Amino acid sequence: MHWVLTEAVSTATVLHRVTGDQRYAEDVARWWVYADRHMVDRERGSWHHELDASNTPAGSTWQGKPDIYHAYQAALLPTIPTTSFASALAARTD
């Protein structure tokens, strides 16, 4: 499921930020490579929301692409302070 990957990316991003532990940055980089290789749908846009065991797009849980906000949050997180999304975005001036 796409949201599992994006939550892992977001968690590792914050863990790296607050601990400075390089292994979390390595996790983030490795998982973005996986997302780019398997989850990003270059033909129809957005992300594949579900993959089967061989990383082929699947639809056994639901059909289509019901949301993109998980992927958007994971991509946006490195650009905002470590706080809640709502307060960080409200505080942005750019």
Q: What is the pLDDT of residue 22?
A: 98
pLDDT per residue as tens digits for the range 22-77: 999 999 999 999 999 999 999 998 899 999 999 999 988 888 787 888 888 888 88
Helix (H, G, I), strand (E, B) or coil at 43: coil
Structure-token pair, residue 28:
């983030």
- The closest alpha carbon to 70, from 85, 89, 60, belongs to 85
| Long-range Cβ pairs for the range 14-17 (8 Å, 24+) | 14/77, 14/82, 17/82
Greater pLDDT, 51 or 86: 51
